[in-house]
Amino acid sequence: EVRIALHRARRPADWRLVEEPVHLADALYANARHDGCILVDCMTLWMNNLIFPDGRTYPEHGVITPPDAFTEEIEALLTALPTLPGHVILVTNEIGFGVIPMGAITRFYVDELGRLNQKLAAAADCVRLMVAGIPVA
């Protein structure tokens, strides 16, 4: 909670905060402005919220079938992004760089976040990978 408070204290006073755990496209439509900029932090947590609604659990082995909202919300986001006025900055994590623990849901999560990151990068005007605080094109 201290870390969150520090982040909030460093923000400019005119920044607004909208917390939307699942319906990201709807939140973007509602808040995008021609002269505005939206920072979405972060896609990794959003993916988690799509896969694990209401504490949903999955087996360690076998095929993972995510909830219907998983595909619907991702499609809604990808449809919304090119139509939004103003600027949208999406923050995500590249979790496939490290050691990936065993288990069907872990593999599913890593693979699906990777796929989402690829789709977002393809739709973006600019992509930066941060390595030790240094932006890499």
Hey, which residues are catalytic here?
7
Q: How far apart are CA 121 and CA 75, in angstroms?
A: 15
Q: Are strands 134-136 and 129-131 parallel, antiparallel or unpaired?
A: antiparallel
Cα dist from 65 to 30, 50, 110, 136, whole Å: 30, 12, 15, 35
Query: Is residue 101 packed enough to be buried (19+ CB in 10 Å), middle (13-18) or exposed (0-12)?
Result: exposed
In Å, how far from its chain's centre is CA 43?
1
Compute CA distances 14 → 2, 50, 107, whole Å. Answer: 21, 30, 40
